[in-house]
Amino acid sequence: MEDKVKNEVRDVEENKAGKSEESSDDFIIEGMDIVRTFKMGEVHVRALGGVNVKIRRGEFIAIMGPSGSGKTTLLNQLGLLDTPNSGKIIIDGTDTSSMSDREKGKFRLHNLGYVFQDYALLPELNASENVYISLMMQGKSKEEYEVAASDILTAVGLGDRIQQLPSKMSGGQQQRVSIARSLAHSPRVLFADEPCANLDSQTSKEVLDLFQKFNKTKGQTIVMVTHEGWHAEYADRVIKLKDGLVES
Ligand code: ADP
Ligand code: MG
């Protein structure tokens, strides 16, 4: 029995060592030739003009570029919040192009997490309730989702504010609740669109430190849009957009 396990471990290690070129298994997201245009009256705005991106498992990516360069549009395509006109998005081996809206919704609920600039918390729900909604929707038991919400709120430093309403919290605290919500179901990828845009620099640093903590200790893959150079320094790699194309 032990020999069998040892052999399996050896096989896995040899397999790893033998992989000289990167295979698509190494990428959690592959976006191929993504085009997204918006129709404004008679005018077509080309927000993304054929973008190719590959993001590795466990990477912390910053998407940068001037206002209007397509950062939010790209994040929304990769995060399955919008559908491109053409192109392909593969997430953890699953080709999402042929999914129906319903299938996409289910995939998002189980596999993806989001943090927005304006926190997007439900004002009538307390911190715990805001955090456990997605776990409840996944069909977890009450005990399970309450414990999970309490654990993750403690991990973001809000263990003493579990019952508090968003209106009684500072912007930084609200953003930490939204980070707890985004991570409660252990998503494969966390997407964040300018998460610090409404925060002062000290609070921004606290939020970025949290992202870094989950990235380094849990291997959480993070894709974050920002236009601040010092925010991007937290990332392993920067994808720079200009006029709807990857510049570098
Ligand atoms: P960024 O996040 O880099 O500021 P966006 O992705 O929001 O840029 O927008 C890229 C371009 O697409 C801009 O020209 C913007 O006006 C346009 N755009 C984005 N979303 C829409 C929409 N829903 N309707 C029309 N135009 C849009
Ligand atoms: Mg934007």
Q: Does residue 125 fall inside a structural domain?
A: yes
Q: Report if residue 15 sits inside a domain.
A: no
Determine the Cα–Cα distance for residues 73 and 36; give it in Å rounded to an integer. 8
Strands 27-40 and 43-56: antiparallel
3-state secondary structure of 143: helix
pLDDT digits (tens, 9 = 90+) for 78-113: 999 999 999 999 999 999 998 999 999 999 999 999
Cα–ligand 1 centroid distance for 195 (angstroms): 18
Strand 60-64 with 237-242, pairing:
parallel
CA distance 108 to 85: 20
Q: Is residue 3 part of a domain?
A: no
> Tell me: the pLDDT tens digits for 112-153?
999 999 999 999 999 999 999 999 999 999 999 999 999 999
Closest CA to 153 of 179, 134, 114: 179
- Strand partners of residue 114: 191
Has residue 102 been placed in a domain? yes
| pTM attached to this predicted model | 0.89
Question: Per the domain annotation, does 5 fall within a domain?
Answer: no
d(C-alpha 201, C-alpha 205), whole Å: 6
Q: Chain centroid to CA 185: how far? A: 12
Count of domains for the chain:
1
Range of the domain at 101: 23-246
Residue type (1 letter), 170: S
Atom 11 of ligand 1: nearest residue by CA position: 47
CA 127/CA 119 separation, integer angstroms: 12
What percent of the chain is predicted at pLDDT more than 90?
87
Q: Does 86 map to a domain?
A: yes
Residue with the smallest CA separation from ligand 1 atom 25 is 38
Q: 3-state class of 149 per DSSP? A: helix
pLDDT in tens, 181-238: 999 999 999 999 999 999 999 999 999 999 999 999 999 999 999 989 999 999 999 9
Q: Looking at ligand 1, which residue's alpha carbon is closest to its atom 16? A: 68
CATH code at position 122: 3.40.50.300
Residue nearest atom 24 in ligand 1 by C-alpha distance: 38
User: Is 4 a domain residue?
Assistant: no
What average pLDDT score do residues 21-29 get?
A: 77
Q: Does residue 73 sit within a domain?
A: yes
- For residue 74, the ligand closest to its alpha carbon is 1
Residue from 37, 44, 45 whose mutation best tests the ligand 1 pocket (most atoms within 8 A of CB): 45
